[in-house]
Structure 1
């Protein structure tokens, strides 16, 4: 159905009018923004959406298993299932591709619609009309590509959607500022231009120009007529049964009551009468009867003879009469032109029916193609209205189509409904009556003007929206049409014609919530308290095409100001419709389209929705595209990223704020013999399967790479909080994932262009020693002390203004230190794994050499990773009170664990690499004693006893190593000088009582 541009004469669009539709600013950016958006939508995501739809919406596990069995099994037997897998999946793939392409096409057109204009700006309305025309064109293309062997229901559904876009476009045209302004001007002048010789055409034109509401009704009537003409079967096919019963035969075009006429002629021949048969003639009622029931036949054949004579026609003529009146109804219902109606009945030699349908008024050549001739002529033939009303209510007329035709001609809605079978039929009868009522009101004003020439202004009647809404409500509850109201898109049509937008979109928003929580799809984005809705809305909310229509119509009407009041009171429910469609886009994998629709949500809702959805985006390329689109839509990217993190970790974040935090598990277990009892890191501490919850949690902070320098503090808080969560949970597998995928160096470089892992603004200087020094087993490089200690921060790091390197580094302080702690645990785990491999292969010289080389590398990594943990300020500069408590718990638990594990590393290295590492154990003891943070961690963590035991074992090992020194032993050296200070004579007298050392 092509868009209808109102013609004041013909009521439907001319081709020239359609081709001249406004483009205005709507197309200004077509070669720019549209191309940019098109580039962002790649075919890969369409394929992903298709696969997702097939695998999640269509469930065929048993069938597919059977198909694969018959396709791939050994001997190939002829089977009805053989080679059918492709045949089954191909239409599903095509459907998924079609859905994905259509969603993209709608998004592209919506993206070009600039809503940042006043609702009184005519260019905004022009662009909205163009947008609706393009939506209609998209649907028309889909209809043309839909296979002819698809179900009639699917074809009718697509056709109705196309027509709905046309209807929405034409109704908006009737409400545009330009149309309303022109109507107000016409109300003050057009009536004054009319005179007593004005034609019906001039009168009709002036009426429509002066009444914007009448233009709406005419638009709806035209749309209903065109719909009936396009979707209803031909009249000949519709009346096939009645035609057969009338026994006219094929190709016989003469009509009228020919069988009754033959009976009348028979009576005249029998009675030898040349004059018309007299109904009162004696004996006529006894002989001139219908054989089937002996009822008196009419004696004369004028159109109202049956009523006037209280007689009947022959059965065949009765069927013909029924078919004729039904044909008249269908002609009016389909909006056939006066010329077509005249030609039809002229061929059947019953032109009087055409004269009746055009109200026996003037013949206007310029109205030959108009369906409104029957209404125009009411101006000069008011008696016909009264006559039609009388006939419509005459109890002697029993044929419902005949009554309905009279009801249409006089504008009687109650009688017109007698022939109505569908919702569109009922709406046609209603709007026909409303249009005639308004026209008669104008005619009365015109007649008053003829008697009072000074009365040139016209005031139209108020609109009948309340009456229409009551009618629509009655149609939805009527048993005859209730089932039809459940057909997808039908409720959208009724909302459009009744302009009951507020109630409709509100009901659909609540239905969207109901469906989301009933199906479990997208429920996390919608509050369940909005889930009350009616059955019809729920049916449409489950239909993806209906949901797409609803959301795009809603966005257009919102931009034009139609929904201001309902948005003010029910914003959340109204936005449910947009959220529901966003969830659909997510389900088909079209993540790139989501920012466009999210930008139409309120800020908080957009953050919540995008936070729920974007956590599922895995590919960095797709994230880059989505971020680009979010920036294009001016979405608050930092807040959205914060929303992604919060929603993915909401439960854990709440636990983190609890006063009684759980005690983290240990990373070490006892190892060695009773005599040399040392701790060791738990085997495979940081290896294992990654749960879905952990994957989502880590993925939620991967988005931090897209924040800017102004929002860097929020990103640092997110990552730091996740480190704390994993540390308190003792989820070391998750800790490894976070360490590998969200490093401060990489994320800060991507976000702010600086590597904030170096707090002083300079990277650490790597050891430039030669290879011999690195391989010297007895040369021990001392642990680097921390950089210069800073004074306590004067203000909260995350609220400190500025984007310079130092400020951003301060904001990253906790992140950096927690990452250093995780790195230390990771390197300890790697060293333990290497040490275990070395011990297991001590008898294999080849492998032993390899593992010993790996052990040295792992040892260097451990010493580098442990160094930051020995700083007195490590995890000692909290950002607030809550942070202070959390860091203290982490520090008092993990610092002793790491120090004890590191001591075990040095002890092991002293036995398997070089005795010099045993000296480092003593240096470590001295370090723990000198640094208050380390001492307090052991004391508050109640680990001092274990520390003393460990250092006692180290001392014994060192003394034993010194006893083994001799002429060939290498001299132990350190950077601070010789280790002679530790050389004492030791004679073992028996086992050491380690408990006594406590």
Structure 2
């Protein structure tokens, strides 16, 4: 639906940013107030309580989720405002900088929260996660068992993931890691050197035999986009490890403590050395101390080594003392963690030196004179370090070595299996694969680009690591690695965690697939829950991959996806048009979630990222669910501040409500009859208002939804034509489908008079009911809707030509709505009359003859007559759209016959108590039905096949009038006889004058008076 020029627009703040912040002021101030009250550590969120109340704990979690969503929304609002203020010149770079700032702010929220929770965790449980406590305990247990041969099971067969999925801390840290990865990928994408830049670099720094090996590595990273990406991912994984629950210093401190204290770590294999010395002292004089000398351990189960060089255990096949074995395993575990966390080589070398373990630094290649802080790659030696890496690979395959020792050399060699053996998480497995891929791709690049620096023939003598993902299947390395880990039983469970799935989509550059699949999953779920209108399943949808379903079931993950999409969209990262509708479903799903937790004020911000048509649909559906008037007005202000036109949104919401009600919007077939009367003889002229025709006290939810949708037009500024188009359409469809109660509810909640006053001021300069206008006195007695059919009120100055034109236009646009409401009110009056009849049935006989009772009957009948008056003229005949004339004729056919018959029955019933003068109304009804200008009334009876009922009812009314007159004459005769019997003088019976019994059109009852003289 295209927007069109309108006389006025929705009221908005001159400064949208100011308006937006004002609307959210209360909720956002509460965020800051709670945060400030808990101390300076967390500027955004309050600390969690440490009490034991489970209800409070659950509430705290819920509050944190809401605060987080509010914080994200505020940042997005601020970002959008920054974009609006950017100068047009150089706007592309400025928009990029503003979007990166948004990304950093989103990351900061998660980082600050994770840091606060980490501090609380340390205060409560110490610096160690459960996973790390288990790992350190296993190091000690293995040493005590005296086994130095590591198994190849994943994490010693313990839990696969190092993160507790139910831990707030782990979730926040995982989210912080996710935002950091997105930032790294964005930087990688936008800072990628083009081919010209690469060529310029090659020409400026040509490679020759004198080029340092480090320069080769730099050139490789500049010229190979895939290698640079792997390096960035490895650095991100190292930061993730550093930011975990347990820091490196705490690990070393605990290992030293378990090994006997920090002092023992500077003396190497202290206990084994003392045992060897003791054995030598106990030997007989002159005996040699050799390989075959037996030095037993305390447990006598195994023999100790007889020499103290580093490779003695593997060379001799013997063991260290128990405590030294624990020390050895602890050292290798610490070194593995140092490498896994990306500790600079200088720090690793210093750490080893402080513990008199310089030989370990040398064996790792740390001691070489080379700037190694930017990479762990050893470039010295033959073939730019390739030979040395093969030696490390051989060391990683030594089965007698400790598994952490093998893992350390596996990292240096680019092996996967030896490193995976000590992994405890999906991230550890990713690190093993990407590390291996990077080292292998470097050697491949050397061999292809600079074969003189790579002695392939010599290196063939030594095996190199075989990569699990080393195959050419047309997929990128990242996709192959993720696919392997998703299928691997050791990592599959963690790989399917929502935020891991999101991270994997960044790694594989398939975020658009993720966002689309989440949207599809949400649509399928919405369809099952009856929300298909809000989140529809597209025609011929893609197949849903179960891998993405967990993301759609975790609203924290959906929030991350939505905000990541905002960044993607703004930065212009590739998104296929065919997947756009699916991604829109993801945003719509998040909006629906905000609706479900009643955070309506956040919704307009995210609606702005939908196309205009989808905006109108989604907001229209969401608005109809709002019931609180204050929140409705707040939402209207936010929608305006977001720059979204509200008229089409309002139209979409009542269209949605109508669809939910099952109403066909395109072509509706009207009911044949709306039953109001039941057959009745006697005083009701053959047709009495049915006892089953009652008004419900409460509407069904689907009808209530439609009524609420229309109330929006009354509560907020909207255009006259759009308002009355919606009202007319809804009332018409409700009446056509027989949903009278809903139509009446709309009529009562949004009466025409008040609606006209609310919407007329922008056009006429004042509030007014446009059908209340001055008219000649004789016209005010009885008026048809052709002339207004509304009570007139005196006016001051006559309207100007412009105002008369506007009045005609406004009347034309709203007349049908008024008449549909008049129909509803008339039928309601009939239902109330039946209730009045039922009250009469409960009265005593003597109560029916009092003046007060007769007066009340007259008043009730007058109320009914006033309500019925509009139906007795040209109701629903001023139809501008020729295609709708037949439809409104069907409405008249369905409702008017029963309504008029019921009205005539009510008149006849009332005459029994008030006298024959009341039957003037029945005679007037007969005249109206016979009048040529009211042919549509007769046609309604003819079309409905009810003309016989009408004639019969009018005839029975005449008979009832005759009976009433006869009864009154008999009553007078009886009174006269009583006077004569009492000796009183007989009264002179005067001729009754028909002039006192004429209706407004001159009708008289004299012909039915049996006492009237001829």
Correspondence 1:331 to 2:338: yes
Matches within 5 A, 1:666-815: 666-671=675-680, 673=682, 677=686, 679-680=688-689, 682=691, 685-705=694-714, 712=721, 715-751=723-759, 753=761, 761-765=770-774, 782-787=781-786, 804-815=806-817
Instruction: Tell me whether 1:154 sits opposite 2:165 in the alignment.
Output: no
Give the aligned partner of residue 229 of structure 1.
242
**Residue 957 of structure 1: CA displacement?**
5.0
Cα shift readout 1:833-892 (whole Å, capped 9, x = no counterpart): 4455456547687996666555555444433333332334634637344x3343222212
What displacement does 1:642 show? 3.2
Q: Which residue of 2 aligns with 1:106?
A: 72
Task: Give how far 1:782 is off.
Answer: 4.9
Note the C-alpha offset of 1:816: 2.5
Rounded Cα–Cα distance in structure 2 between residues aligned with 1:330 and 1:418 = 14
Distance 1:216 1:428 in 2: 13
Asked if 1:510 corresponds to 2:553, the answer is no
Cα deviations across residues 639-659 of structure 1 (Å, max 9, x unaligned)? 433332233222766568778
**Residues 273 and 411 (structure 1 numbering): CA distance in 2 closer, same or farther, change over 3 Å?**
farther
SS of aligned partner of 2:192: helix
- Counterpart in 1 of 2:865? 863
Within the candidate set 298, 322, 325, 2:329 is matched to 322
CA distance in 1, matches of 2:584, 2:870: 50
**How far apart, in 2, do the equivalents of 1:957 and 1:847 lie?**
19
Match of 1:38 among 21, 32, 46: 21
Q: How far did residue 253 of structure 1 move?
A: 3.0
Is residue 664–residue 729 contact of structure 1 (8 Å, CA) maintained in 2? no
Asked if structure 1 preserves the Cα contact closer than 8 Å seen for 2:759 and 2:767, the reply is: no
Pairing 1:96–2:59 present = no
* C-alpha separation in 1, matches of 2:805 and 2:641: 23
- Give the structure 2 partner of residue 825 of structure 1: 827
Which residue pairs with 1:922 in the alignment?
Answer: 923
2:361 aligned to 354, 357, 366, which one? 354
> Structure 1 residue 162: deviation in Å?
2.0
Deviation of the 1:333 alpha carbon: 0.8
2:263 matches 1:251: yes
> Could you report, residue by residue, the CA deviation over 1:609-660 in whole angstroms, capped at 9, with x for unpaired residues?
3343322112333223323333444446444333322332227665687786
Closer, same or farther: CA 162–183 of 1 in aligned 2, 3 Å: farther
Map 1:295-444; keep pairs closer than 5 Å: 300-306=307-313, 313=320, 316-362=323-369, 370=373, 372=374, 374-375=376-377, 378=379, 384-394=385-395, 395-396=397-398, 398-399=400-401, 400-413=403-416, 415-436=418-439
Task: Flag the 1:362–1:804 CA change in 2: closer, same or farther, 3 A.
Answer: farther
1:491 pairs, out of 501, 508, 518, with 501
Task: Choose from 633, 658, 671 the match for 1:649.
Answer: 658
C-alpha deviations, 1:549-608, integer Å up to 9, x for none?
A: 12211222122222422xx12233323322221221122111222232233234454444
Distance 1:316 1:875 in 2: 103
Offset at residue 213 of structure 1 (A): 5.5
Is the CA contact 1:508–1:537 (under 8 Å) kept in the aligned structure 2?
Answer: yes
Checking the alignment, whether the CA contact within 8 Å between 2:678 and 2:689 is kept in structure 1 is yes
* Alpha-carbon offset, residue 960 of structure 1: 6.2
- The whole-number CA distance in structure 1 between the counterparts of 2:529 and 2:1001 is 74
Maintained 8 Å contact 2:515/2:583: yes
In 2, distance between residues paired with 1:875 and 1:45? Answer: 55
Report if aligned partners of 2:336, 2:407 keep a CA contact under 8 Å in 1.
yes
Cα distance in 2 between the residues matched to 1:326 and 1:979: 112
Match in the other structure for 1:797: none
Secondary structure of the structure 1 residue equivalent to 2:181: helix
Question: What is the 5 A alignment of 1:96-135?
Answer: 96-114=62-80, 121-135=92-106
1:692 shift after superposition: 1.6
Shift of 1:520: 6.9
Who is 1:546 aligned against? 557
Runs (5+) with no aligned partner, structure 2: 1-12, 31-50, 126-163, 455-471, 790-803, 970-988
Preserved contact between residue 720 and residue 818 of structure 1 (Cα < 8 Å) = yes
Find the counterpart in structure 2 of residue 10 from structure 1: none
- State the match for 1:188 in structure 2: 200
SS at match of 2:682: coil
Q: How far 1:929 moved relative to its partner?
A: 0.5
SS at match of 1:679: strand
1:286 has 2:292 as partner: yes
C-alpha deviation, 1:302, in angstroms: 3.6
Larger RCO, structure (CA 8 Å, separation 6 or more): 2
Question: 5+ unaligned residues in a row in structure 1: which ranges?
Answer: 1-29, 48-84, 275-280, 452-461, 770-779, 791-801, 989-998
Q: Deviations over 1:241-286 (max 9, x none)?
A: 98799x7566323333344444655676688999xxxxxx998343
1:562 to 568, 573, 589: 573
Change (3 A) 1:38 1:505: same
The equivalent of 1:73 in structure 2 is none
Question: What is aligned with 2:798?
Answer: none
Q: CA deviation at 1:921?
A: 2.2
Please say if residues 302 and 319 of structure 2, whose CA atoms lie closer than 8 Å, have aligned partners that are also in contact.
yes
Aligned to 2:476, what secondary structure does the other structure show?
A: helix
**Pairs within 5 Å for 1:152-231:** 153-176=167-190, 179-180=191-192, 185=197, 188-189=200-201, 192=204, 216-231=229-244
- Looking at structure 2, the residues matched to 977 and 439 of structure 1 have their Cα atoms a distance apart, in angstroms, of 107
Matched, 1:583 2:603: no
CA distance in 1: counterparts of 2:476 and 2:572, whole angstroms: 20
Q: Does structure 2 retain, via aligned residues, the 8 Å contact 1:548–1:581?
A: yes
TM-score (norm 2): 0.74
CA displacement, residues 102-157 of structure 1 (integer Å, 9 cap, x when unaligned) = 22221122233347999992222212211122212322444466564698722111
* TM-score, structure 1 normalization: 0.75
Deviations 1:180-225 (A, max 9, x none): 3699647624872689999888887777677665554444333322
Which residue is equivalent to 1:949? Answer: 952
Q: Contact (CA 8 Å) 2:820, 2:876: kept in 1 or not?
A: no
Instruction: For residue 887 of structure 1, give the secondary structure of its aligned residue in structure 2.
Output: helix
* Contact 1:525–1:608, Cα closer than 8 Å, also in 2: no
CA distance in 2, matches of 1:763, 1:106: 52
Instruction: Say how many residue pairs are matched.
Output: 872
1:547 Cα shift? 1.6
Secondary structure, counterpart of 1:421 in structure 2? coil
Q: Structure 1 residues 727, 787: closer, same or farther in 2, change over 3 A? A: closer
Distance 1:45 1:871 in 2: 58
Structure 1 residues 746, 880: CA separation in 2 closer, same or farther (over 3 Å shift)?
Answer: same
Query: Could you say if the C-alpha distance between residues 735 and 315 of structure 1 is closer, same or farther in structure 2, counting changes exceeding 3 Å?
Result: closer
C-alpha separation in 2, matches of 1:590 and 1:692: 22
Alpha-carbon deviation of 1:412?
Answer: 4.0
Q: In the superposition, relative to structure 1, how do residues 852 and 264 fare at CA in structure 2: closer, same or farther (>3 Å)?
A: same
- 1:169 aligned counterpart, secondary structure: helix
Q: 1:742 to 1:183 in 2, by over 3 A?
A: farther
Distance change in 2, residues 1:397/1:898 (3 Å): closer
| Deviation (angstroms), 1:813 | 3.6
The 2-side partners of 1:812 and 1:135 are apart by: 50
The match for 2:935 among 932, 936, 940 is 932
- Contact persistence 1:921–1:954 (CA under 8 A): yes
Q: Is the 8 A contact 1:107 1:593 kept in 2?
A: yes
Separation in 2 of the partners of 1:200 and 1:503? Answer: 41
Partner residue in 2 for 1:20:
none
Contact 2:756–2:768 (Cα < 8 Å) also in 1: no
- 1:980–1:256 distance in 2 versus 1, CA, 3 Å: closer
How many Å apart are 1:827 and its aligned residue?
Answer: 2.7
CA distance in 1, matches of 2:768, 2:893: 24
Distance 2:754 2:659 in 1: 26
